[in-house]
């Protein structure tokens, strides 16, 4: 009996399966449901409304998004005759899967038994994987064969070129400070959280993640009042739901990466031996920190409108990019002085 349980546990906690399916797919779904609920509730509070309420008033409308998802799941998926059928269907699915892929390669514990891949170049691999999924949003816009979708896709392309460099520079500044590409070593090196040592890089990373996931001052590709829903204009039903969810899943993946790099990962806890203390608890700490970070991301919605495309790009290249370079320079200085 104990053998069977051990077998099941070892299958569940086989790192690639655990991180991709449990943390990546299920965990991100749960976090996203909670975050969207939180975002709507926080915005509603600022705007003097109730927000989601009528589905389970005792839970303050928490399962609202579950209800929405069920509705999306049973809605008819309409594929326009003029659309490129295969790409139209594939693009949102691939984008969603790819957007959680970075979670499968980051360490959620310092215990080598529970690393999904060898960790020597893990920060590079994770960053590289974050850059894959946006392409499929452009593909979705192109395959829709709709003017609004194409304009939205082109805007997405502009925004990608603006934020990717910043995200990579600012997150890699940690590896410059610690002189390693190993995420575990970066986490372990943070006696003081890296956000305190290099707030400039954190701010740049924060802004780039907002841009990457259409967070509010940068909600440009889907800007409703010019391009309807941007690349997703022609989508309906589950495919639309996937498209919308993909942005939040991507934000979750970025948040986990940022937690590992800037916020000390599993920091107050020291992972030990065994599944419970070596894997489950540290990974939950990381996910909880990522959720808190996402809550902060979602507060911008009620404060800001959206920038114009050229203003966002100008801000990214003229302000945030130098900030990321400065953060990188600060990291090099810290490495030279041996702060970390």
112: exposed, middle or buried (Cβ count in 10 Å: 0-12, 13-18, 19+): exposed
Between 147-178 and 122-130, two packed helices, what is the crossing angle to 10 degrees? 170
Which residue, 216 or 262, has its beta carbon nearer to another protein? 216
Residue 166 CB, shortest distance to another protein, in Å, is 19
Q: Which residue's CB is nearer to another protein, number 134 or number 230? A: 230
Q: End-to-end CA distance of the chain, in Å?
A: 47
Neighbours of 79 (CB within 10 A): 17
Minimum distance, C-beta of residue 43 to another protein, in the bound complex (Å): 7
Report in angstroms the alpha-carbon separations of 28 from 37, 153, 277, 284, 326. Answer: 14, 25, 22, 12, 32
C-alpha R_g of the chain: 20
- DSSP codes of every residue in 232-283: GTT--HHHHHHHHHHHHHHHHHHHHHHHHHHS-TTTTS---SHHIIIIIHHH
Cβ proximity to another protein, 142 vs 307, nearer residue: 307
**Nearer Cβ to another protein (107/221):** 221
Q: What is the DSSP letter of 106?
A: S
Least distance to another protein from the beta carbon of 296, Å? 17
Count CA atoms within 13 Å of residue 249 on its CB side.
32
**Which residue has tokens 């996937």?**
242
Length of the chain measured in residues: 340
Closer residue to another protein (CB): 111 or 233 = 233
100 vs 151 by CB, closer to another protein: 151
- Complex with another protein: residue 85 or 147, whichever CB lies closer: 147
Provide the minimum distance between the beta carbon of 243 and another protein in the complex, in angstroms, as a whole number: 17
Contacting residues toward another protein, per CB under 8 A: 43, 46-49, 147-148, 151, 216-217, 219-220, 223-226, 228, 301-311
Q: Which is nearer to another protein, 148 or 254 (CB)?
A: 148
Helix %, strand %, coil % of the chain (to 5) = 75, 0, 25
CA–CA dist 5, 334 (Å, integer): 48
């Amino acid at each position: 009996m104990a053998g069977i349980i051990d077998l099941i546990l070892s299958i569940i906690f086989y790192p690639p399966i655990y991180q991709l399916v449990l943390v990546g797919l299920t965990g991100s779904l749960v976090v996203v449901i909670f975050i969207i609920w939180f975002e709507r509730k926080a915005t509603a509070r600022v705007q003097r409304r109730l927000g989601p309420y009528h589905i389970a008033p005792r839970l303050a409308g928490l399962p609202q998004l579950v209800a929405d998802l069920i509705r999306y799941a049973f809605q008819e998926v309409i594929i326009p005759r003029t659309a490129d059928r295969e790409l139209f269907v594939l693009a949102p699915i691939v984008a969603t899967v790819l957007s959680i892929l970075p979670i499968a390669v980051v360490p959620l514990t310092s215990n080598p038994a529970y690393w999904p891949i060898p960790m020597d170049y893990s920060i590079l691999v994770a960053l590289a994987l974050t850059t894959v999924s946006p392409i499929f949003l452009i593909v979705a816009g192109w395959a829709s064969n709709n003017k609004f979708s194409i304009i939205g896709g082109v805007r997405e392309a502009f925004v990608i070129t603006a934020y990717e460099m910043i995200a990579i520079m600012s997150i890699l500044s940690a590896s410059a400070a610690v002189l390693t590409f190993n995420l575990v070593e970066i986490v372990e090196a943070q006696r003081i959280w890296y956000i305190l040592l290099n707030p400039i890089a954190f701010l740049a990373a924060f802004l780039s993640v907002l841009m990457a996931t259409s967070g509010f001052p940068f909600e440009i590709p889907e800007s409703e009042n010019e391009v309807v829903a941007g690349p997703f204009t022609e989508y309906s039903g589950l495919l639309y739901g996937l498209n919308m969810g993909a942005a939040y899943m991507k934000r979750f993946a970025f948040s986990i990466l940022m937690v590992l790099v800037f916020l000390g990962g599993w920091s107050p806890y020291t992972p030990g031996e065994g599944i419970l203390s070596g894997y489950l608890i540290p990974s939950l700490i990381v996910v909880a920190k990522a959720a808190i970070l996402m809550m902060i991301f979602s507060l911008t919605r009620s404060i800001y409108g959206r920038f114009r495309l050229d203003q966002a790009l100008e801000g990214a290249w003229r302000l945030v990019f130098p900030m990321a370079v400065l953060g990188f320079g600060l990291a090099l200085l810290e490495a030279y002085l041996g702060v970390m």
